[in-house]
C-alpha cells in the first residue's frame, strides 16, 4: 500500500509538471511552441530528456529480464553498443538535422525528406511506415504502467486501473505541456531513476549479503556459471546487435527531439555524456538481473528458474504452445520488482517503483511525436493549416493525443502483451533499416526520392516477412536452431529459440545492408532532384 | 517567407591538418567498434593468465566481460569528447546564426 501511495504522489508531481509547462508556454497557439518547445531547450534538459526518451520500459525492465536469462552478455549487446552508436549518430545526423530545422523550419523528418527529394506522396508512404512501427511503443508503455502499478501495490491496484491512470497522466501532461512538458517530465524521470537506481543496487546488494558471495556462488554452479560469460550467445548474434542502435536516430521522436535544442552547442554534452548515462543505468540493471539467479527465498524467482530448467531439459518433447507458456513463465522482466519487494524497505520500494514507472512512462515522447507527425505531415501538408490556421492545427494535435492514448489503452486491455513486445523487436530492426534514408539525405547528393521509396518499401516488406515467418514457424526449444532454408550446406534462414537468423546474423543486418544498397542502386538509376535543391542542402551542410 | 540567395552562403573549407585529424578520428571510431567485439573474454568470468600468476575478478564480484564492456563505455565517452573537440561542425551553427529568419522549405 505504501509503495502505491508513493507512486501516486509521483504521478501527481509529473502531471503538475506538464500543467506548469503549459503555463510557461511562450504561446499556446503556435505549433512550434507546442510541438518543439519553440526550439529553446537548454543543455541540461536536452541531455537528460533525450536520454530519458530512449530509456523505455523495454530498456529497464527488459534489460534485467534479459540478463536474468542470458547473463552479462546483455550489457554488451544492448548498452555498450548503444553507448557508441547512438551518440555517434546524434553527432553526425542530429546536429545536421538541427541546423536544417533551424534554417528551414522543419518539424518532422518527413518534412525534410519531402523537401530534400522534391517529393509528395512518397513522403506520406514514409510517414505511414514510421507511424505503424511507432504505435506499439505507446501500447506497451500503457501495458507496462498497468503491470508495474499492479506489482508495486501488491495487487491492490488492478491492471486495468493502473493502465488507465498511467494513460491519463501521460495524456494529461502531453496534452497540456506539449514538448516542453514532455522534456521536463523526462528530465525529472531520468534524474529520479539515476538517483534511486543507485540506492537500489546498494540496498539489494546489502540484502543479498554482498555481491561477492553471490557472484562466487554463481561461478561455482555449473548451471549458472555461463551467465557470467557469453558462451550462450553466438559472436554473429553479438555483432548483429550493433546494428540495432542505428534505429535510435531514425525514430521520429528522437529526431524530432533533436530539433528542440536552443543551440547546437547543447548537443556537445549529450554526445559526450550519453555513453556514461547508459553505463550508469544499464550496468546496475544487468548486474542485478544476473545476481537475481542467486536469490533462493523469492518464490516468484524460483518459479521462473524452474520454468527455464524444464524448458531446457524437456522443451524438445513439448508442443510449441507449451514451450511458449513456459517461456512466459521464465520471462524475467519483473525480477527487479521482486528483488525490491524482497530487500528494500517499503518506503524505498515505493520510490524505486516510482523510478521504474518513470522508465515505463517513456511512451510520452512517442505520443507527442505521432501527434506532431500527423498534424505536420498530413494535416498541414494536405492543406489543413492553410484552411483553418495554426490554432486549429495545435488543437488538432491535442485531440490526436487524446484519441491515440484512448486507442492505446483500449488495445492494451484486450491484446496479449507478448504481441507488442514482438512488434517492438521488429520495430527496432525496421527503424535501423530506415537509417540509410537519413544518411543518404544528409551526406549523398545523388540520392533520390525513388531510392528512398525503394528502401522504405523494402523495410516494410522485410518487417512483415520476419513477423510472418516467426508466426508460422514456432520457436524451437533451447538448443540448435531449425534450419528452414539452406543452399549447398550453407544455412540461409534458421528459426532460433529467440527469433530468426539469416546466415547466422540477426535479420537487422541484411535489412540494413539491402536498404542501403537499394537506396544506392535505385538512386543511381533515377532522376536527381534539381540542382537548386541539392545546392540548398550541400552548400550549407558540406563538411 | 524570404528565400536566401544560395550563392550568398559563405564557402567553408577544411585545411590539410583538419582533414588529417578527421581521418584519424574515423580510424579511432573504427578501432573502437572492433574493440566492442571482445571475443577474447567470451568464455571466461575471470582474467586468467596462469604464466603470470594472474587470476582476477574485478572488485571481487564483477565478471571480466562485464567490466571490459563498462570500460568500453568510458572509452566511448572519451572518443565522443575527441569528436566534439576536433571535428565539431561549428560552421553549421555559425551559418544558422548568420542567416535570416527561417527560410522557405520549398526550393
Least reliable range by pLDDT among A67-81, A269-283, A344-358, A370-384: A344-358
Model confidence pLDDT, tens digit, residues A291-344: 999 888 889 899 998 998 898 888 888 888 888 888 888 887 778 878 877 887
pLDDT of A400: 92
- Evaluated on CA atoms A429, A431, A432, A437, the torsion sign reads positive
Q: Do A105 and B29 touch (CB under 8 A)?
A: no
A360-384: average pLDDT: 88
pLDDT averaged over every residue in chain B: 82
Q: What is the pLDDT, as a whole number, of residue A117?
A: 96
> Angle A43-54/A159-207 helices, nearest 10 degrees?
100
Q: Which residues between 3 and 32 in chain B have a beta carbon less than 8 angstroms from any beta carbon of chain A? A: 6, 9, 11-12, 14, 29, 32
CB atoms within 10 A of CB B31: 11
Q: Which residues contact A389 (CB under 8 A, 6 or more apart)?
A: none
Cell of A348: 524505498
Contact A272 B105 (CB under 8 A): no
Separation between Cα atoms, residue A151 and residue B52, nearest integer Å: 50
Question: In this structure, are residues A434 and A455 in contact, taking their beta carbons and an 8 Å threshold?
Answer: yes
Query: Residues of chain B whose pLDDT is less than 70?
Result: 1-15, 100-107
Task: At A327, list the grid cell.
Answer: 517461456
Confidence of residue A252 (pLDDT cuts 50, 70, 90): very high
Q: How confident is the model at residue A124 (pLDDT cuts 50, 70, 90)?
A: very high
H/E run at residue A483: strand A482-487
**Can you give the pLDDT at residue B106?**
47
Average pLDDT over every residue of A493-508: 90
B55 shares contact with chain A (CB less than 8 Å): no
- Within the 56-85 window of chain B, which residues sit less than 8 Å (CB to CB) from chain A? 57, 59-63, 65-66, 69-70, 72-74, 76-77, 79-81, 83-84
Looking at chain A, the whole-number percentage of residues with pLDDT higher than 90 is 42
Which residues of A are less than 8 Å from B2 in CB distance?
none
Any bridge partners for residue A482, and if so which? A495
**pLDDT score of A28:** 59
Question: In what order do the strands lie in the sheet containing A490-496?
Answer: A482-487, A490-496, A499-502
Q: Which residues of A touch B88 (CB under 8 A)?
A: 268
Closest CB to B77 among A118, A265, A276: A276
Residue A396 to residues A374, A399, B72, Cα–Cα distance (Å): 9, 5, 46
CB proximity B107 to A under 8 Å: yes
Residues with Cβ within 8 Å of residue A379, at least 6 apart in sequence: A385, A393, A396
- What CA–CA distance (Å, rounded) separates A482 from A479? 9
| All cell numbers assigned to B43 | 568464455
**CB A253, CB A94: distance < 8 Å:** no
Would the CB atoms of A272 and B44 count as touching at under 8 Å? no
- C-beta atoms of B76 and A83 within 8 A: yes
Q: Does B100 touch chain A (CB under 8 A)?
A: no
pLDDT at A52: 81
Angstrom distance (rounded) from CA A43 to CA A95: 14
Q: What is the mean pLDDT of residues A272-280?
A: 93
- The answer, yes or no, to whether residue A525 has pLDDT greater than 70, is yes
* A469: pLDDT strictly greater than 70: yes
Q: What is the pLDDT of residues A190-216, one digit of tens each?
A: 888 778 777 877 888 888 878 888 888
pLDDT at residue B104 in the model: 52
Choosing among B66, B93, B98, which should be mutated to test the A contact, i.e. which has the most A CBs within 10 A? B66
Using CB atoms, which residue from A83, A84, A264 is nearest to B92? Answer: A264
Distance to chain A for B51, nearest Cα, Å = 22
Nearest CB to A105 within list B29, B65, B102: B102
Q: Do B96 and A264 touch (CB under 8 A)?
A: yes
In angstroms, the Cα distances linking A113 to A31, A109, A442 are 20, 6, 10
Indicate the DSSP class of residue A476.
P
User: Which three cell numbers, joined as nine digits, stand for A100?
Assistant: 536544417
Q: How many helices (H) and strands (E) does chain A have?
A: 26, 3
Residue A69: phi, psi to the nearest 5?
-90, -30
pLDDT tens-digit readout, A9-49: 888 888 888 888 888 776 656 888 888 988 889 988 988 88
Confidence of residue A351 (pLDDT cuts 50, 70, 90): confident
Q: What percentage of chain A exceeds 70 in pLDDT?
A: 95
The whole-angstrom distance between B50's CA and the closest CA on chain A is 19
CB contact under 8 A, B36 and A242: yes
- The answer for residues whose C-beta is within 8 angstroms of residue A72's C-beta and 6 or more apart is A227, A228, A229, A230, A286, A287, A290, B63, B65, B66, B69
Q: Which residue has the higher pLDDT, A371 or B18?
A: A371
Q: How confident is the model at residue A8, as a pLDDT?
A: 84
From A89, which residue of chain B is nearest by alpha-carbon distance? B80
- Assigned C-alpha cell, A451: 531510392
Interface test with A, best of B7, B28, B42, B69 (most A CBs within 10 A): B69
Q: Which residue of A has its CA nearest to B13?
A: A543
A110: nearest Cα among A92, A97, A96, A93:
A97
Work out the pLDDT band at A56, boundaries 50, 70, 90.
low
Looking at CA atoms only, how far is residue B20 from chain A in angstroms? Answer: 13
Chain A residue with minimal CA distance to B81? A272
Residue A370 — pLDDT band, cuts 50, 70, 90? very high
Please state which of the ranges A122-131, A268-277, A304-313, A518-527 shows the lowest mean pLDDT: A304-313
Q: Report yes or no: A260 and A39 within 8 Å, Cβ to Cβ.
A: yes
pTM of the predicted protein model: 0.90
Q: Which residues of A touch B33 (CB under 8 A)?
A: 84, 242
- pLDDT, mean of residues A114-130: 95
- Contact check, Cβ <8 Å, A228/B42: no
A152-187 pLDDT, tens per residue? 777 888 889 988 988 898 898 899 889 999 999 889
Per residue in A85-103, is it b (16+ CB within 10 Å) or e — as a string?
A: bbbbbbbbbbbbbbbbbbb
How far, in Å, CA of A369 to CA of A2, rounded? 35
pLDDT digits (tens, 9 = 90+) for A66-82: 899 889 999 999 899 99
Of residues A421 and A22, more confidence is placed in: A22
Amino acid at each position: 500500500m505504501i509503495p502505491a501511495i508513493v507512486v501516486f504522489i509521483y504521478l501527481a508531481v509529473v502531471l503538475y509538471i506538464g500543467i506548469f509547462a503549459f503555463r510557461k508556454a511562450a504561446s499556446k497557439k503556435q505549433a512550434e511552441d507546442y510541438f518543439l518547445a519553440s526550439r529553446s531547450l537548454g543543455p541540461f534538459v536536452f541531455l537528460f530528456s533525450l536520454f530519458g526518451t530512449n530509456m523505455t520500459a523495454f530498456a529497464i525492465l527488459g534489460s534485467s529480464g534479459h540478463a536474468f536469462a542470458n547473463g552479462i552478455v546483455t550489457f554488451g549487446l544492448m548498452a555498450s553498443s548503444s553507448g557508441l552508436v547512438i551518440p555517434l549518430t546524434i553527432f553526425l545526423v542530429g546536429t545536421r538535422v538541427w541546423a536544417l530545422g533551424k534554417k528551414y523550419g522543419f518539424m518532422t523528418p518527413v518534412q525534410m525528406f519531402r523537401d530534400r527529394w522534391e517529393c509528395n506522396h512518397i513522403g506520406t508512404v514514409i510517414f505511414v511506415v514510421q507511424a505503424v512501427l511507432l504505435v506499439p511503443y505507446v501500447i506497451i508503455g500503457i501495458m507496462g504502467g498497468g503491470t508495474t502499478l499492479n506489482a508495486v501495490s501488491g495487487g491492490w491496484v488492478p491492471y486495468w486501473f493502473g493502465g488507465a491512470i498511467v494513460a491519463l497522466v501521460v495524456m494529461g501532461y502531453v496534452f497540456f505541456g506539449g514538448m516542453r512538458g514532455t522534456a521536463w517530465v523526462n528530465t525529472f524521470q531520468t534524474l529520479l531513476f539515476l538517483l534511486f537506481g543507485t540506492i537500489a543496487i546498494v540496498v539489494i546488494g546489502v540484502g543479498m549479503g554482498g555481491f561477492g558471495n553471490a557472484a562466487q556462488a554463481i561461478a561455482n554452479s555449473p548451471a549458472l556459471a555461463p551467465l557470467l560469460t557469453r558462451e550462450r550467445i553466438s559472436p554473429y548474434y553479438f555483432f548483429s546487435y550493433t546494428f540495432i542502435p542505428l534505429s535510435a536516430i531514425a525514430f521520429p521522436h528522437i529526431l524530432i527531439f533533436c530539433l528542440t535544442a536552443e543551440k547546437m552547442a547543447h548537443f556537445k554534452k549529450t554526445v559526450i555524456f550519453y555513453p556514461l548515462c547508459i553505463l550508469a543505468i544499464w550496468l546496475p540493471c544487468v548486474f542485478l538481473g544476473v545476481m537475481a539467479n542467486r536469490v533462493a527465498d523469492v518464490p516468484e524467482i524460483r518459479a521462473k528458474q524452474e520454468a527455464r530448467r524444464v524448458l531446457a531439459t524437456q522443451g524438445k518433447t513439448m508442443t510449441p504452445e507449451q514451450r511458449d507458456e513456459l517461456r512466459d513463465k521464465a520471462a524475467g522482466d519483473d525480477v527487479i520488482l521482486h528483488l525490491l519487494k524482497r530487500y528494500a524497505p517499503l518506503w524505498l520500494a515505493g520510490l524505486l517503483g516510482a523510478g521504474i514507472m518513470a522508465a515505463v512512462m517513456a511512451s510520452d515522447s512517442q505520443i507527442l511525436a505521432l501527434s506532431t507527425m500527423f498534424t505536420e505531415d498530413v494535416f498541414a501538408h494536405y492543406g489543413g493549416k492553410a484552411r483553418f490556421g495554426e490554432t486549429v492545427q495545435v488543437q488538432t494535435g491535442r485531440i490526436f493525443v487524446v484519441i491515440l492514448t484512448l486507442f492505446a489503452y483500449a488495445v492494451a486491455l484486450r491484446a496479449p502483451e507478448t504481441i507488442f513486445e514482438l512488434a517492438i523487436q521488429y520495430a527496432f530492426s525496421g527503424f535501423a533499416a530506415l537509417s540509410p534514408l537519413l544518411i543518404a539525405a544528409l551526406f549523398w547528393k545523388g540520392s533520390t526520392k525513388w531510392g528512398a521509396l525503394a528502401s522504405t518499401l523494402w523495410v516494410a516488406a522485410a518487417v512483415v516477412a520476419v513477423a510472418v515467418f516467426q508466426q508460422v514457424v514456432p520457436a524451437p526449444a533451447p538448443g540448435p536452431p531449425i534450419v528452414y532454408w539452406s543452399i549447398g550446406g550453407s544455412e540461409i534462414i534458421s528459426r532460433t529459440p529467440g527469433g530468426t537468423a539469416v546466415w547466422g546474423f540477426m535479420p537487422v543486418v541484411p535489412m540494413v545492408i539491402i536498404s542501403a544498397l537499394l537506396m544506392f542502386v535505385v538512386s543511381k538509376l533515377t532522376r536527381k532532384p534539381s540542382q537548386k535543391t541539392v545546392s540548398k542542402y550541400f552548400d550549407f551542410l558540406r563538411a | 517567407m524570404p528565400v536566401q540567395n544560395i550563392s550568398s552562403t559563405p564557402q567553408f573549407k577544411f585545411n590539410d591538418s583538419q582533414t588529417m585529424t578527421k581521418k584519424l578520428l574515423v580510424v579511432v571510431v573504427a578501432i573502437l567498434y572492433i574493440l566492442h567485439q571482445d571475443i577474447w573474454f567470451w568464455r571466461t568470468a575471470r582474467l586468467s593468465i596462469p604464466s603470470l600468476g594472474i587470476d582476477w575478478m574485478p572488485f571481487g564480484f564483477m565478471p571480466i566481460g562485464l567490466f571490459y564492456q563498462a570500460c568500453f563505455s568510458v572509452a566511448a565517452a572519451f572518443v565522443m569528447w575527441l569528436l566534439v573537440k576536433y571535428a565539431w561542425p561549428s560552421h553549421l551553427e555559425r551559418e544558422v546564426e548568420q542567416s535570416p529568419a527561417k527560410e522557405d522549405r520549398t526550393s
